[in-house]
Amino acid sequence: MSKVNSIEKVMPHQDNIYEPAFVKKMFNRMSSSYERMNYITSFGFSIRWRRQFLEKLGKSNQRLNVIDLLSGLGENWTFLKRNFPNATFYALDFSDKMISRSSNKSKKLFAGDLNLLCENILQNKLESNHFDIISCAYGLKTFNEQQLEVLAGEIHRILKPDGKFSFVEVSKPSKKLLCAFYGFYLEKVIPLLGKIFLGNPHDYKMLWIYTEKYGNSDLVKRIFERNNLTVTKEKYFFGCATGISGRK
């Protein structure tokens, strides 16, 4: 197979980058480095943004049902466990490699008492009206508008009445100078770092492609509101990340 053909298999036509099969394979390949690269791509702000967006969910000692969607390597779990110490926890991701790698963290943090589910959130078997709390970090950009409609419908379905949710996503800042700098960093520097440290820049080149198409959380807010959810939009570090939070 030629080098060009191998790259095309990793970098498809941009109309196909939202195909679940492509997204799943991409995150499977990135699973060994994803947590480190999240930190690098955000200048170290990813941890702060996680803490800030999870603060929107509040804290409680009650026996709640909490689910972390698109859970990746379990980066949200320490915060969720601290904020909801008596909750029953679930985590869902459709990347089997992410699930496998996060299972060790699950055993250490939850003593194995975590419902770790390998499912596609758009086609899931979660119980309706079951969850008090839903969290999700850095997964919205991998959905197109039609998929976001399905996602919003699923959030409404699985949340209990008055249940709360919070999402955060890397975004395009509105200030032109900051956007140009951040775009150059994500589009050019991050793939280079991916090549140096991982030997494969192509998956991390996708970060800016997704981010540029995503823009910010304005569209997501409108879609969630159309699905009978009360929504507030948040902006972090001058719009380098945005998010939504709210209730059913």
1-47 pLDDT per residue, tens: 333 334 334 445 556 899 999 999 988 988 877 777 666 666 667 78
Banded pLDDT at 198 (limits 50, 70, 90) = low
Q: Cα(7)–Cα(150) distance, rounded to whole angstroms?
A: 31
92 within 8 A of 69, measured Cβ to Cβ: yes
Q: Is the pLDDT of residue 188 over 90?
A: no
Residue 202's identity, in one-letter code, is: H
Instruction: Return the higher-pLDDT residue of 43 and 65.
Output: 65
Total Cβ atoms within 10 A of residue 161: 7
Amino acid in position 119: E
Return the percentage of the chain with pLDDT > 70, whole number: 86
| Partners of residue 235 on adjacent β-strands | 242
Average pLDDT of the chain, as a whole number: 87
Q: What is the mean pLDDT of residues 69-96?
A: 96
Handedness of CA 125, 128, 130, 132 (dihedral sign): positive
What's the rounded Cα separation, in Å, for the pair 19 and 2?
24
Q: Which of 76-80, 81-85, 141-145, 209-213 has the lowest mean pLDDT?
A: 209-213
Q: Centre a 10 Å sphere on the Cβ of residue 79 and count the other Cβ atoms it contains.
A: 19
What integer pLDDT is reported at residue 232 of this predicted model? Answer: 97
Q: What is the pLDDT of residues 115-167, one digit of tens each?
A: 999 999 999 999 999 999 999 999 999 999 999 999 999 999 999 999 999 99
Question: Rounded distance, CA 90 to CA 71, Å?
Answer: 9
The reported pLDDT for the residue numbered 13 is 53
Residues in the chain: 248
